[in-house]
Amino acid sequence: MSKVEIQASNIKCGGCVSSIQDGLKELDGISAVSVDIESNKVSVEGSNLESKVIEKKLAELGYPIEE
Ligand SMILES: [Cu+2]
């Protein structure tokens, strides 16, 4: 079990949080997703997590990584 924290962007409301949680849970190995609207930080817990895959999915969902 490991944890990855990603600085995303464009997260503004509870609807964004739900889409991120639903979207990321489609990925393999992810057991929990928490999102902080204020800081736009997305924390993902699970096994065999790959940041690149998670970042790509976030971008597809409309919440790209903040450069
Ligand atoms: Cu929203």
Rounded distance from Cα 53 to ligand 1 centre (Å)? 22
Instruction: Please give the model's pTM, rounded to 2 decimal places.
Output: 0.93
Rounded distance from Cα 20 to ligand 1 centre (Å)? 10
CA gap 5, 52 in Å, rounded = 12
pLDDT of 1 > 90? The answer is no
- Total domains in the chain come to 1
Tell me if 66 is assigned to some domain.
no
pLDDT digits (tens, 9 = 90+) for 18-31: 999 999 999 999 99
**For the domain that residue 53 is a member of, what is the CATH number?**
3.30.70.100
pLDDT digits (tens, 9 = 90+) for 2-12: 999 999 999 99
Rounded distance from Cα 46 to ligand 1 centre (Å)? 25
Residues whose CB is under 5 A from ligand 1 (ion)?
Answer: 12-13, 15-16
Q: What percent of the chain has pLDDT over 90?
A: 96
Tell me if 67 is assigned to some domain.
no
Domain extent for 18: 2-61
Tell me if 19 is assigned to some domain.
yes
Residue pointed to by tokens 């609807």: 15
Tell me if 32 is assigned to some domain.
yes
Tell me if 6 is assigned to some domain.
yes
Residue 58's nearest CA partner among 47, 33, 48 is 33
Tell me if 43 is assigned to some domain.
yes
